[in-house]
Amino acid sequence: MGKPVILAVDDDASVLEAIIQDLRRQYGPNYRILRAGSGQAALDMCVQLQQRGDEVALFVSDQRMPGMTGVDFLEQARHLYPEARRVLLIAYADTEAAIKAINTARIQYYLTKPWDPPEERLYPVLDDLLGAWAEGYKPRYEGMRVIGPRWSAVDYQVRDFLSRNQAPYIWLDPERESEAFEWLERYGLDDRKLPVVLFPDGSSMVQPTQMALAEKIGLSTRAARDFYDLVVVGGGPAGLAGAVYAASEGLKTLLVEPEAPGGQAGSSSRIENYLGFPSGVSGADLARRAYVQASRFGVEFLTQCVTGIRAENQYRLIRTSDGNEVSCRAGLIALGVNYRRLQAPGVERLTGAGVSYGAALVEARACRGEEVSMVGGANSAGQAAMHFAQYARQVTMLVRSPSLEASMSKYLIDQIAGTSNYKGGDRFAGGRSHGRKPPGWPAVELPGPGNSGSGDRAVHLYRSSAFNQLAAGADHARSARVRPFRTGFARGRQAAAALERGARPVPAGDQHAGISSEHPNISLSPSSPPSRSA
């Protein structure tokens, strides 16, 4: 979409040329100045502008025109562009008609011809009108759009990849927003093949792969050189820091990262114990700052997955997933950590479709008015719980330990304890309550801002953090069972049925700890730890 439009209408060619010249001299840098020789021609032009999605800020129309008067034109144009300002040009004899038009055509001003000098009689009036219009003007979004159902693993992966690479986009869920179908029809796409990514240049991608999407949004997927002094594998804080230090000393440095700079820390909603940020910093902002700093020193970023490393003479050769190789004098392996997967039947098929790992950035706003459960009690889970509580109706943390102190930083514990809507649960994930509350905080419930929602539930798993990597208790995680209830899981019966097909039956009388005491969607209840031989 181009600049907003100012449309001048007059059947007298000399008068129309004069007003066009004055408008261009004052408003040309910020507005498109268009002309029409009649009221009907101007209406046809408005229809075309509307079809293209252009905005009209101001109509300037002469009153005395054959076929359609200026008042008639402005009255009809108001229905096409109700927010546009309307000015009527009149002769002195038309003053009475202009006054009536204030009520009928809702014009904002009328000017008597001639308007010389424009600096005194034209521009001050139009400046006020355009200023008032600009206050309520919201430019139409012209970037990427992602259309896909929320409970689709592929849709989640697309949105997560774009978010972590800080590529702006609008997400439209066809189950909730009819606008999604309008965009699909405009691009000629089948609504049975989702997700799709729409680009402002008119192109689109249907169920794109990560590498294809990376290349489309401008990320480098092929190294620019064959040889580097240093290749860094991994784009987390450690890899970024190593790349900055190397490049600042003049080394030709390549950083290879398959997803997005920032690593796990980049997905954190808030980090408050990172040196140099007394007010805290989001993971995305931390990653962005590090990326800019590394780029300033000449670090080259490559979006690829490393599949092999081998030595040849005094050099190291790095093979990527596209089959290409780059050589280097030295390689720095900074792989960071991955979230441990919850070994529970039925969870894998719902990952990305209601169950997600570390999804604070991409999922928080989508959980408005819903119930969210966090599995984990370390820093990542605490940060995410505070962030989700701004949107969700209720956030429940399921903690295996009898206390948060064993795995969470004290500043986060204090924040949760100081939250006005904090509620300590009487039951906890990790065993039976036996009618009493264990010591510490076995369960933490953070009711959200009181939004009424659909009651859908999403489970977000935070199995490790940057400061508590690979915490103990994997045996208990592997032995957890998933129990479906009649209320279903996530969104609708389809997901509940999928969960039920992969879950082991549990006796009705088995009253283990659940996410909600009234309407549990999913309950994580540990069984006896498996033997070492298992």
Alpha carbons 273 and 278: distance in angstroms, whole number: 8
Vertex 43, ends 131 and 125: CA angle to 5°?
25
Q: How far is 150 from 174, CA to CA, in rounded Å?
A: 9
Checking if the pLDDT of 382 tops 80, the result is: yes
Residue 273: is its pLDDT beyond 90?
no
Among 5-9, 58-62, 155-159, 397-401, the minimum mean pLDDT is found in 397-401
Is 447's pLDDT higher than 70? no
pLDDT digits (tens, 9 = 90+) for 409-431: 888 888 877 765 444 443 333 33
Token pair 């498996």 is found at: 530
| Token digits of residue 395 | 């956030």
Supply the DSSP string of 422-450, one letter for each residue.
-EE-S--TTS--TTSPPSS-SEEEEE-S-
The H or E element spanning position 185 is: helix 179-187
Q: How far apart are CA 51 and CA 67, in angstroms?
A: 25
| Separation in Å, CA 105 to CA 56, 314, 356, 457, 485 | 16, 82, 55, 51, 60
* Cβ atoms 484, 500 nearer than 8 A: yes
Give tens-digit pLDDT for 113-151.
Answer: 888 899 988 999 999 999 889 888 877 777 899 999 988
Does the pTM of the predicted model rise above 0.85?
no
Alpha carbon distance 389, 348 (integer Å): 26
Is the pLDDT reported for residue 479 higher than 90? no
Q: What is the spatial distance between Cα 156 and Cα 363, in angstroms, rounded to a whole number?
A: 9
Neighbours of 506 (CB within 10 A): 16
d(CA 232, CA 255): 5
Do the domains 347-526 and 5-135 match in fold? no
Residue 272 pLDDT class (50, 70, 90 cuts): confident
Contact 5/56 with Cβ under 8 angstroms? yes
The angle, 0 to 180 degrees and rounded to 10, between the axes of the packed helices 379-388 and 410-418 is 30
CB 273 within 8 A of CB 414: no
User: Domain segments of the chain: what residues?
Assistant: 5-135, 144-216, 227-333, 347-526
Q: How confident is the model at residue 379 (pLDDT cuts 50, 70, 90)?
A: confident
Report domain 144-216's class: alpha beta
CATH topology of domain 347-526: FAD/NAD(P)-binding domain (3.50.50)
Q: Round to whole Å and give the CA distance between 167 and 82.
A: 33
What are the start-end ranges of the E strands in 276-419?
300-302, 306-312, 315-320, 325-333, 355-357, 371-375, 394-398
CA 10 to CA 458: how far, in whole Å? 60
What's residue 323's pLDDT? 92
Residue 251: pLDDT above 60? yes
What is the helix (H) or strand (E) element at residue 415, kind and residue range? helix 410-418
Helix axes 237-248, 283-296, angle to 10 degrees: 20
pLDDT digits (tens, 9 = 90+) for 330-356: 999 998 877 778 887 888 888 877 888
Classify 172 as helix, strand or coil. strand
Q: Decide: 365 and 357 in contact? Cβ < 8 Å.
A: no
Assign a CATH topology to domain 227-333. Answer: FAD/NAD(P)-binding domain (3.50.50)
Q: How far apart are the first and last CA of the chain?
A: 62
Q: Is the pLDDT assigned to residue 367 strictly greater than 80? A: yes
Average pLDDT score over residue span 28-34: 93
CATH of span 5-135: 3.40.50.2300
Q: Rounded to an integer, what distance in angstroms lies between the CA atom of residue 434 and that of residue 486?
A: 25
Which position has the token pair 């439009």? 5
